Structure 1
Amino acid sequence: MPDHASDDLTPLTDDPPRSGISRRTLLVGASAASVLAAAGWGAAPKAVAAPGEKVVKIAIMGTSDIHSNALNWDYYKDAAYTDSAKNSIGLARVSSLVNQVRADVGRERTLLFDAGDTIQGTPLGFYYATVEPVTTTGAIHPMAAQFNAIGYDAVALGNHEFNYGLDFLDNWISQLDAPALAANAVYAGTTVPRFEPFVIKNMHAGPGLPAIRVGVLGLTNPGVVIWDKANVSGRVDVLDVVETAARWVPVMRRRGVDVIVVSVHAGDSGLSSYGSDLPVENAAGLLAEQVPDIDVILFGHAHLDKPEVFVTNTQTGQQVVMSEPAKWGQRLSVFDLDLAFSRGTWKVVSKSAHSVNANTVEDDPALVAVVKAQHDAVVAYVNTAVATSTEVLSAAESCWKDTAILDYVNHVQVETVTQAIAGTPEASLPVISIAAPFNRAATFPAGQVTIKDVAGLYIYDNTLMASVLTGAQIKDYLEYSAKYFQKVAPDAPVVPETWTNALNTPDYNYDQFSGVTYDVDISQDQGFRILNLAYGGVAVAPDQQFVVAVNNYRQSGGGGFPHIATAPVVYNAQVAIREAIVAFASAAGEIDPADFHVVNWQLVRAGTPVF
C-alpha cells in the first residue's frame, strides 16, 4: 500500500451499519429510467451562507475511461489523434487542464480523482501488459508514471483494470502514489474489500480555519465477474454499487468527513447489458437517488460527456451533483463547491459541475517526457510488418455484409482451435467460429500489413476459447444477434447504415458465424429472422453438435447471448486473439482472400437478398 501520510485511511475492520436497501429494489431493469426521470433531475438550488460565515471555494476534478491514452496519438493511424468533433485525447492534455484549474483555484484547494478504465485500450496498454510486461521487466507502467506525475489524489478501479489479471493489477497499484479504490470488490465469499474502500483528504482552508475533510469512496462495476470471470472467479466478488455505498458512506461521516465524493465506474442509465442475476451495471443515478449524504459523484463507463447532472436524493431531498467526463481524456470534469464554516463545522452551501475540453490546450511537455521512450517503443512495434495482403480488405461494410477482413479473424480462430483439439473427442466435430465488427474503419492495405493494421481490426484484448453448441442453440444465438437490425420493409430504399444498432445494440454485439450458411431476414420481427441455417449444404439438425471458436468476453456472458456462457468449454489456452492473428499472418507471409473468404451469410428481405 502506498504511503499516504496526510490521509486518514479507514481500517477495513470498521463495522458499518446495515443498509436498508434491498437488492430486489435495485435490480429494476428498464423501469430504472422512469424512476430516475422522476427523481428530480434539474438545476440545483443555491444555498446561501449566513452573515458572518466564512465561505471557501474548492474544486474537485475528475477523469474517467482514459483507456491507456497517454498522449494525443492514434496508434492505429500512426498519427496525432483527430476526429470529426476536433477532440484531443490523452493524459498529457489532461495535465495541462489540471494545471490551469490548480492555478485558478489554488493547489491546496483542489483534488483530482479518476473513475477507472485506465490501463487497457490502446497498443500502449497492451504492449506493457503482454509484449514487454512491466511485471517482468520491473519498469514503471506508463499510466502509473503519468498518474503520479500529474498528482492524482485517488483512483477508482474500472472493469478493464481486471483484464490482465489480479497479479498485474496489484503490480500497477503498487506503482501508484495515490490509493486505488474499489469498496465493492471483495474477497470471494466475504464482504471484506480486497482494495482500499475510501480515502480522506485534508484540504487547507486558510489561516485560523480547520482543514476541510473530503472523503472519496471508490466503486467498480459488478460486470467484472462476467467480463473477466477467468481472472476473478473464486478470488473476487463484486457487490452491488448502491448497497456498498450505503454501507460505507456512514462510516466516512463518522470519521468527520465534510464532503463526500463517490468515484464510480458505472453509467447513470439504471440499466444493465446483462441479466438481472447481477447488480445493476449503470447504477450511478440510483446511487445518488438512494444513498443519503453524498455530495458529488464522478462517474464513467459509458464513454459519454455529461458535464453536469443533478439528482434529488429521495430520503433527504438534497441534490447530488454528478459529472461524467468524455472518454480518453477528451474532457476534465470540474466540480465547484462553496463551503461555509459556522459553529465549528463545514457545510456545502453551493455545488455545480462543468467540463473543460482538452482541445483547448496543448500537451504538457513534462507529461510527454514521462512516457516518451515507452511511446516510441510502441510506435516502432505497431509499425512492424507481419504479412503482405494481395488486395485491400476493408471493414467499412462488415456490419451488413460478409466481408473478407472479418472472415480472416474467423479463419485464424478456426485454424487455431482445430489444431488445438486434434486428438481429443471433439476433434470429430465441425469447427465454426464467431466474430463481430469491432471497428468499421479497420483496413488491411494492399501490400504490407503491420501490427497496427491488425490491432485496428481487433481492438480488444480478448483471448480465444471454444465451446460446444448444438444446432438449436446456434439458431437461438443467431436470432439474438440479429436484433442488431431495425425491421426494414421489403420495398424500403437500401440504406444499410441506417438499419444497424437497433435497441442501442453496439457493433461489437453483432456476432457473425463462419462455417455455417444462413440468411438474416430483416423484414421479419426479431426472433424470426434466421432462415436456411445449413452446414455443408445440409440443414443443421437441432441436436447436431459444433465446436464454436469464441472470444472470452462472449463466452463469459458479455452481451447476454444465449447458451454460450453455460456451454461445455473444450479449449481455453489463454491465447490473445490479436496475437494469434499476428502469428498466423507472419507464418503464412501472405493474406489472400481466395484462401479464406466465403460469403456464408447475407441480409434478405422477404427472402430476397438485399445486395
Structure 2
Amino acid sequence: MEGIHLRTTRTLGTATVAALVLAGLAAAPAAAAPEASGAKHGGGAHALDLTLLATTDLHGRVANWDYFSNAPYTDRAGDTVGLAGVASVVDAVRDEVGDDHLLVVDNGDAIQGTPLSYYYAVQEPVQETGATHPMAAAFDAIGYDAQVLGNHEFNYGLDLLDAYEGDLGFPLLGANVIDVDSGEPAFDPYTLVRKKVKGQKPVTVGILGLTTPGSAIWDKANVEGELEFRDMVETAEEWVPKVRAAGADVVVVLSHSGTGASSYDESIAAPENASDAIAREVPGIDVMVVGHTHLDKPSQVVVNEETGDEVLLTQPYRWGSTVSRVDLDLEKVRGQWDVVDAEASAIRTKGFAPSQEILDLVADQHATTVAYVNQVVAQSTEALPATASRYEDTPIIDFIQQVQTETVAAGIAGTAADGLPVLSIAAPFSRTAIFPQGDVSVRDIAGLYIYDNTLQAVQMTGAQVKDYLEYSAKYYAQVPAGGTFDPEAHTGAGNTPDYNLDIISGLEYEIDLSQPVGARIEKLTLADGTSLADDQQVVVAVNNYRRSGGGGFPHIASAPVVYDEQKEIRQLLIDWAQERGVIDPADFSDESWWLTIDGVRIG
C-alpha cells in the first residue's frame, strides 16, 4: 500500500492580522522582518522559486498562553508560542511569494503538551464527542500541506489519533509506522503536492514522513501488537526512490527525529535520532525538516556519502517560537525541475501579531480549558515550592511519592508482590512549580506534574535499585573534598536535564559528590532503618516513560511489571488532593536523601 495523495495545494485567503488575542491575552508586537540565520548551498541560475515553511513540536499550543501560570506565555528570550502566531507568519509569506510558490508542513508532536490538548483527549475526548480537535482546526485553517507523526501523537491511544487524523484536511504521514496485521504502512508514507506556476511546467514536491522508533518503547501500552516502528534510515532507503518514481521533482523528508545519541538502549529499538544519518546515507533528498529534540537549528548542511550532494536540514524551534523558511531555486535539467540552490532561515513569531481568525476558531475550547485548570481542588496549609527539588528533599516531591506509593500498595494487595517494600520514583520536572498557601488549583498540580504519564510498578532487587540511583546521580558534577556545592554550577552535569534526576522514596541514602560517577550512593537503607540488601526484593512505583526505557536508566525496562492500571499520575495527584481537601506536608513530607561532600551533608 503506497497510499499517496496527489493534489494541488488550496489557496487560503490571508487572515486578518490583529493585535489582540483571546480575552486576557496581551497584545503581540507588530509584524517584523524574518530573522535569517541560514546558509546557502549549491549554486547556479534558476527559473522557478519555491518556499517551504515548517514548524515542529507545537505540543498542543494554539494561543500564546501559559495555562499553568494563567497568563500569556513568556520566556527570557521574549519568544512567543502557538499556531496563532505561526498563522500570521504563513499569511505574510504567502502574500510575499504567492500561494503557487508556497508549501507549509509540520514535523509532528502536535496533540500533547498543554492542558488544552489534554482536556480534549481525556476530559472531553474528541473521539467520543465528535468535536473537532483544536489543533486540527488550527492547522487546517492555516493551510498546511502535510504533517508527520510525532512520538507524542500516540500518547492518548490510537482511537484519539484516528479521530485527529480524520479532522485534518491534509495527509498525516508515517512511512516507518507499520500495521502489524498487514505489514503495510498504517499511515500514508508520502504525499505529492503539485504547484502550478503561471507560464511554467508544474513542479511536484514529494513529502515523505518518518518518525522516531522510540514510540515503540514510550507508548508500548498503546501500540504493542498494533503498530511496528521500523528503522528510519532503512525506510528512507525504500521510499525515497518511490517518491522520485512517482513524479517528485523535489523531495522533502519530514523527520520527527533529531541528531545524536538515543535516550534509550538501542538494543530495544532502532536509533531514536537518525536525521543526520538519513541525509548522509540516503541519496535523492533535497531538504529535511528535523524535530523531536526541541532545538533551534534553522540551517545545517549534511553531505550525502553516495552522491556528494548537499542536503539542507532545518529544525524550527519548539512550540511555534520560530517557523523555518526554506527558499528553493529550481531550474530545468533535461526538461525536469531540479533544485540548484537552497537557503534556510528562522522567522521568530514574536515579531508577528497573532491571527485573530485562529484565536476565534478555538476560543470556546480555550475558555473551557482555562476554566478547568483554575478549579480549586484543595487548600494547602503552607506554600510548597519546587525550586530546590533538584538538590534537596522537598515536600512537594514527597507529595508525588506519597500518592504513587499509596496507589501501588493498594494495587498490589492480594498479589504475589503484596508485602514487599514499596519504593517510588519521581523527578523534579519544574523549577517554578509551587503549591501556594491556601487555594490549590488543577493548574498548580498540573504545573508540578507537567507530563501525561501513567503509573506503573516493577519488581527489582536491592542491587538493581542501587545501580539505578548511581546512574541518576550522574546529574551532579563532582565536587572535591572540602569544596563548596553550587546548585547552578554542579547540577545538570553533562547537559543532563532535571527530568533525568530520579529521586527514590521509601529509602534513606546519601549522594557523595566527592566520589566519581558510579560510586556515590552511600548509607542506603530501607525506611525501617535496615540496610538494603543486594538480594532484597522491592516494588518500585514509576511512570510509564521511565519504565519503558526513557532516559536509559538501568534494569527498569526489563524488570517484571507488577502494577499497571493505566492511571494517569497527574489525575491521581488531583484526586488525592480533592478527596482530602487539604494538602498538609505533615501527611507526606519525609526527608530521606541528602547530598554530601566527603561524607559531610550539604546545607
Tell whether 2:43 aligns with 1:47: yes
What corresponds to 2:139 in structure 1? 147
Paired residue secondary structure (1:419): helix
Cα distance in structure 1, aligned partners of 2:137 and 2:430? 30
C-alpha displacement of 1:7: 6.1
The superposition leaves residues 77-127 of structure 1 with CA deviations (integer Å, 9 ceiling, x where unpaired) of 000011110000000000000001111111111000111000000101111
C-alpha displacement of 1:268: 2.1
Cα distance in structure 2, aligned partners of 1:168 and 1:608? 52
Cα distance in structure 1, aligned partners of 2:355 and 2:3? 26
Residue of 171, 187, 210 corresponding to 1:195: 187
Tell whether 2:306 aligns with 1:305: no
Partner amino acid, structure 1, of 2:438:
G
What corresponds to 1:516 in structure 2? 507
Cα distance in structure 2, aligned partners of 1:389 and 1:547? 30
Cα distance in structure 1, aligned partners of 2:343 and 2:302? 12
What corresponds to 2:339 in structure 1? 348
Residues 115 and 299 in structure 1, CA contact (< 8 A), matched pair in contact too: yes
Tell whether 2:98 aligns with 1:106: yes
Residues 3 and 189 in structure 2, CA contact (< 8 A), matched pair in contact too: no
Provide TM-score, normalisation by structure 2. 0.93
Flag structure 1 segments of 5+ consecutive residues without an equivalent.
9-41
Cα distance in structure 2, aligned partners of 1:185 and 1:479? 35
What corresponds to 1:17 in structure 2? none
C-alpha displacement of 1:311: 1.0
Partner amino acid, structure 2, of 1:354:
S
Against the structure 1 CA distance between its residues 287 and 4, is the aligned structure 2 distance closer, same or farther, given a 3 Å change threshold? closer
What corresponds to 1:6 in structure 2? 7
Cα distance in structure 1, aligned partners of 2:473 and 2:462? 16
What corresponds to 1:29 in structure 2? none
Tell whether 2:478 aligns with 1:477: no
Tell whether 2:244 aligns with 1:274: no
What corresponds to 2:285 in structure 1? 294
Partner amino acid, structure 1, of 2:91:
N
What corresponds to 1:441 in structure 2? 432
C-alpha displacement of 1:276: 2.5
Residues 454 and 582 in structure 1, CA contact (< 8 A), matched pair in contact too: yes
Provide TM-score, normalisation by structure 1. 0.92
C-alpha displacement of 1:506: 1.1
What corresponds to 1:602 in structure 2? 594
Residues 3 and 188 in structure 2, CA contact (< 8 A), matched pair in contact too: no
C-alpha displacement of 1:188: 2.8
Cα distance in structure 1, aligned partners of 2:252 and 2:444? 41
Partner amino acid, structure 2, of 1:419:
A
Task: Give the aligned length.
Answer: 572
Residues 6 and 191 in structure 2, CA contact (< 8 A), matched pair in contact too: no
Residue of 350, 353, 368 corresponding to 1:377: 368
The superposition leaves residues 514-567 of structure 1 with CA deviations (integer Å, 9 ceiling, x where unpaired) of 111000111111110100110111111111111111111111111111111121
Tell whether 2:493 aligns with 1:497: no
Residue of 517, 521, 530 corresponding to 1:538: 530
What corresponds to 1:162 in structure 2? 154
C-alpha displacement of 1:400: 0.6
Partner amino acid, structure 1, of 2:278:
L
Cα distance in structure 1, aligned partners of 2:406 and 2:84? 42
Against the structure 1 CA distance between its residues 2 and 449, is the aligned structure 2 distance closer, same or farther, given a 3 Å change threshold? farther
Cα distance in structure 1, aligned partners of 2:580 and 2:399? 13
Cα distance in structure 2, aligned partners of 1:526 and 1:495? 18
Paired residue secondary structure (2:410): helix
Q: What RMSD in Å do the two structures reach over aligned CA positions?
A: 1.6
Residues 44 and 319 in structure 1, CA contact (< 8 A), matched pair in contact too: no
Residues 265 and 549 in structure 2, CA contact (< 8 A), matched pair in contact too: no
Cα distance in structure 1, aligned partners of 2:88 and 2:184? 38
Paired residue secondary structure (2:557): helix
Residues 185 and 194 in structure 1, CA contact (< 8 A), matched pair in contact too: yes
Cα distance in structure 1, aligned partners of 2:399 and 2:102? 50
What corresponds to 1:455 in structure 2? 446
The superposition leaves residues 128-158 of structure 1 with CA deviations (integer Å, 9 ceiling, x where unpaired) of 1111111111100100111111111000000
What corresponds to 1:116 in structure 2? 108
Residues 443 and 457 in structure 1, CA contact (< 8 A), matched pair in contact too: yes
Residues 7 and 199 in structure 1, CA contact (< 8 A), matched pair in contact too: no
C-alpha displacement of 1:45: 4.0
Residue of 225, 247, 259 corresponding to 1:234: 225
Partner amino acid, structure 2, of 1:485:
Y
What corresponds to 1:180 in structure 2? 172
Paired residue secondary structure (1:6): strand
Cα distance in structure 2, aligned partners of 1:343 and 1:3? 26
What corresponds to 1:28 in structure 2? none
C-alpha displacement of 1:416: 1.1
C-alpha displacement of 1:491: 2.1
Paired residue secondary structure (1:560): coil
Tell whether 2:274 aligns with 1:283: yes
Partner amino acid, structure 2, of 1:604:
T
Worse-superposed segment, 487-496 or 293-302 = 487-496
C-alpha displacement of 1:187: 1.9
Residues 189 and 237 in structure 1, CA contact (< 8 A), matched pair in contact too: no
Cα distance in structure 1, aligned partners of 2:243 and 2:47? 23
What corresponds to 1:488 in structure 2? 479
Residues 5 and 191 in structure 2, CA contact (< 8 A), matched pair in contact too: no
Residues 47 and 329 in structure 2, CA contact (< 8 A), matched pair in contact too: yes
Cα distance in structure 1, aligned partners of 2:360 and 2:394? 42
Paired residue secondary structure (1:355): strand
Partner amino acid, structure 2, of 1:272:
S
The superposition leaves residues 351-389 of structure 1 with CA deviations (integer Å, 9 ceiling, x where unpaired) of 110010010011100000111000000000000001000
Partner amino acid, structure 1, of 2:311:
V
Residues 186 and 238 in structure 1, CA contact (< 8 A), matched pair in contact too: yes
Cα distance in structure 2, aligned partners of 1:7 and 1:302? 32
Flag structure 2 segments of 5+ consecutive residues without an equivalent.
10-37
Partner amino acid, structure 2, of 1:553:
Y
What corresponds to 1:390 in structure 2? 381
C-alpha displacement of 1:503: 2.4
C-alpha displacement of 1:497: 2.2
Paired residue secondary structure (1:572): strand
Cα distance in structure 1, aligned partners of 2:158 and 2:79? 33
C-alpha displacement of 1:341: 2.6
Against the structure 1 CA distance between its residues 511 and 45, is the aligned structure 2 distance closer, same or farther, given a 3 Å change threshold? closer
Cα distance in structure 2, aligned partners of 1:405 and 1:453? 11
Residues 4 and 191 in structure 2, CA contact (< 8 A), matched pair in contact too: no
Cα distance in structure 1, aligned partners of 2:8 and 2:183? 24
C-alpha displacement of 1:492: 2.2
What corresponds to 1:406 in structure 2? 397
Identity, % of aligned positions: 49
Cα distance in structure 2, aligned partners of 1:221 and 1:7? 29
